[in-house]
């Protein structure tokens, strides 16, 4: 007997989507069929339907995209912030939400690892079909895509490489969860404003925290925060700055060390350490020296009296910034200047960085793929995102081998 909604419509789960570990609905990009009609959106889960209102989802526009509310007890009809009724489904399961979450996460892993990789069964029996030559081609494709993104940024920054690099670095400092608000922060706060005050970590921190919208007259509680707010008001008037909307930032389900305020303080300190971070990242050829460019240095005596030192940036985070910002920019700059040797050097450097560990890479490991370095992980991420998810098997070397078999 098919599962039914509380209104008696049949439900078919075509894909549970992706488990969301950040603020917002529990599962995103789900694909379901309700009463014969297909829907793509988010799924939220609660023990009781009334928890929807208790958690104030009915006033939060972030939950307007929920297409299915899965509950154990149907004790209330629920609505989104637009006043639209949310479709609900009752599942009887043990009285712990983690039970249902783990069940759906397991379904998601199976869905991701097999349903979205059409040749998964062939790869399991013959992993060598995914050759090193195809991986290298995929890495170069990925960097060509990144180069195109960099070129679009250069177009809006009047070919200012340092400004474009600053915006991309800010985007990647959001580490996916807060990438878009971090990028908006950089777009709203010109690099030239930061450079004029880069001798003072206190002032640059005040500028960026104020521009983020997270530091306000009412949010400033401590003596340091009040001093930062006062300084921001001065800098805001000096440069005619406008902060971004604070609602853009995601804070739920984020570890303290990844909180946006912490990342902004780290970014401010990094921006003050070197006036020529972009040019330095182009010149250095040793991977450890490149890493050292992203290590936070001790505050000056003047700054240490006014502001606390930002927490250190973890090694894994530094490597992600190298993978997603510094090395692609080295490659793009080399291509723009027709320097094939420098472009090859960027490829050699990424092969020295350790493999990334994320859901996509874990899927490839499940399929028997050897993952040796960041060069492999970037290639496999590109394969998954640009081929497997779009079923471009006819354009894939593995797909062609499968067809031949």
Give residues with Cβ within 8 angstroms of 292, minimum separation 6.
none
Q: Is 233 helix (H, G, I), strand (E, B) or coil?
A: helix
pLDDT of residue 389: 85
Task: Output the pTM of the full model.
Answer: 0.74
Question: Is 52 within 8 Å of 44 (Cβ atoms)?
Answer: yes
288 has a pLDDT exceeding 70: yes
- At 349, list the tokens: 């450097």
108 has a pLDDT exceeding 60: no
* E-assigned strand segments in 256-356: none
Share above pLDDT 70 across residues of the chain, in percent, rounded to a whole number: 93
Rounded-to-integer distance, Cα 343 and Cα 279, Å: 15
Domain boundaries, the chain: 3-115, 160-314
pLDDT digits (tens, 9 = 90+) for 208-235: 999 999 999 999 999 999 999 999 999 9
Most confident among 94-98, 103-107, 255-259 (mean pLDDT): 255-259
Give residues with Cβ within 8 angstroms of 303, minimum separation 6.
200, 201, 202
Mean pLDDT across the chain, nearest whole number?
89
Question: Is 86 within 8 Å of 79 (Cβ atoms)?
Answer: yes
Other C-beta atoms lying within 10 Å of the C-beta of residue 172: 21
pLDDT of residue 274: 85
- At 98, list the tokens: 């983690």
Give residues with Cβ within 8 angstroms of 397, minimum separation 6.
129, 130, 131, 133, 134, 137
- 346-378 burial, b at 16+ Cβ within 10 Å, e below that, comes to bbebbeebebbeeebbebbebbebebeebbbbb
pLDDT of residue 115: 53
DSSP 44-56: EEEEETTHHHHTT
- At 328, list the tokens: 């692609």
Say which residue, 400 or 228, is predicted with more confidence.
Answer: 228
Q: Is 11 helix (H, G, I), strand (E, B) or coil?
A: strand
Other C-beta atoms lying within 10 Å of the C-beta of residue 240: 7
C-beta contacts of 215-223 below 8 A and 24+ residues apart: 216/246
* pLDDT tier for residue 93 given thresholds of 50, 70 and 90: low
Rounded-to-integer distance, Cα 274 and Cα 23, Å: 34
pLDDT of residue 107: 47
Query: What CA dihedral angle connects 355, 361, 364 and 369, to 10 degrees?
Result: 0
pLDDT digits (tens, 9 = 90+) for 173-187: 999 889 999 999 999
104 has a pLDDT exceeding 70: no
Rounded-to-integer distance, Cα 297 and Cα 337, Å: 32
- 295-307 burial, b at 16+ Cβ within 10 Å, e below that, comes to ebeebeeebeebb
- Ramachandran angles phi, psi of 121, nearest 5°: -70, -35
């Amino acid at each position: 007997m098919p599962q039914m909604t509380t209104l008696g419509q049949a439900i078919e789960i075509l894909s549970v989507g992706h488990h969301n570990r950040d603020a917002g609905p529990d599962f995103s990009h789900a694909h379901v069929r309700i009463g014969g009609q297909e829907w793509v959106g988010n799924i939220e889960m609660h023990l009781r339907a009334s928890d929807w209102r208790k958690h104030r989802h009915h006033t939060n526009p972030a939950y307007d995209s929920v297409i299915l509310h899965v509950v154990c007890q149907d004790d209330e009809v629920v609505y989104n912030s637009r006043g639209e009724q949310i479709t609900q489904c009752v599942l009887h399961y043990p009285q712990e939400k983690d039970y249902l979450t783990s069940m759906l996460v397991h379904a998601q892993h199976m869905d991701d690892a097999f349903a979205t990789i059409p040749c998964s069964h062939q790869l399991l029996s013959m992993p060598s079909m995914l050759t090193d030559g195809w991986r290298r081609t995929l890495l170069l494709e990925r960097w060509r895509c990144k180069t195109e993104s960099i070129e679009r940024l250069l177009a809006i920054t009047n070919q200012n490489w340092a400004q474009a690099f600053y915006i991309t670095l800010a985007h990647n400092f959001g580490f996916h969860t807060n990438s878009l608000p971090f990028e908006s922060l950089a777009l709203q706060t010109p690099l030239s404003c930061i450079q004029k005050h880069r001798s003072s970590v206190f002032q640059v921190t005040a500028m960026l925290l104020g521009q983020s919208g997270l530091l306000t007259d009412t949010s400033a509680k401590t003596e340091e925060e009040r001093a930062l707010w006062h300084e921001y008001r001065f800098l805001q008037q000096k440069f005619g700055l406008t902060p971004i909307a604070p609602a853009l930032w995601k804070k739920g389900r984020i570890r303290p060390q990844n909180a946006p305020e912490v990342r902004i303080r780290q970014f401010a300190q990094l921006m003050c350490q070197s006036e020529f971070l972009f040019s330095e990242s182009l010149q250095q050829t040793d991977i450890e020296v490149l890493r050292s460019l992203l290590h936070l240095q001790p505050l000056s005596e003047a700054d240490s009296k006014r502001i606390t030192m930002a927490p250190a940036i973890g090694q894994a985070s530094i490597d992600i910034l190298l993978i997603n910002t510094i090395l692609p920019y080295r490659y793009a700059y080399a291509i723009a200047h027709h320097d094939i040797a420098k472009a090859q050097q960027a490829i050699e450097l990424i092969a020295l960085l350790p493999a990334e560990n994320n859901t996509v890479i874990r899927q490839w490991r499940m399929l028997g793929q050897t993952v040796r370095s960041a060069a492999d992980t970037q290639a496999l991420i590109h394969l998954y995102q640009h081929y497997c998810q779009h079923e471009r098997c006819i354009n894939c070397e593995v797909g062609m081998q499968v067809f031949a078999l």
